[in-house]
């Protein structure tokens, strides 16, 4: 049986609330800055697109230039 956050019959707010309740503070902060602890440890992938953003094609603030104002 899937977790409630995976249930497409629930509203987005219900799914988000369930997922956030399951996440640690470190996981929540990681989502804000796209940091995936353990992604460089080898083995199982920790995020589906963890290797997608490399170099200058990453999320805002990850390339050279001024830092993102939200960081």
Domain ranges of the chain: 1-36
pLDDT beyond 80 at 68: no
How far, in Å, are 3, 4, 27, 31, 52 from residue 22 at the CA level?
10, 11, 10, 14, 25
Residue 15: phi, psi to the nearest 5?
-65, -45
Quick one: which H or E segment has residue 6? Answer: none
For the stretch 4-52, pLDDT in tens is 988 999 999 999 999 999 999 988 887 887 655 665 666 566 666 655 6
Q: What is the mean pLDDT of residues 50-68?
A: 53
């Amino acid at each position: 049986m899937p977790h409630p956050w995976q249930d497409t019959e629930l509203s987005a707010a219900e799914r988000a609330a369930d997922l956030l309740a399951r996440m640690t503070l470190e996981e929540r902060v990681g989502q804000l800055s796209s940091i995936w602890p353990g992604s460089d440890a080898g083995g199982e992938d920790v995020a589906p697109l963890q290797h997608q953003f490399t170099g200058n094609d990453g999320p805002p603030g990850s390339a050279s230039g001024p830092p993102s104002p939200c960081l």
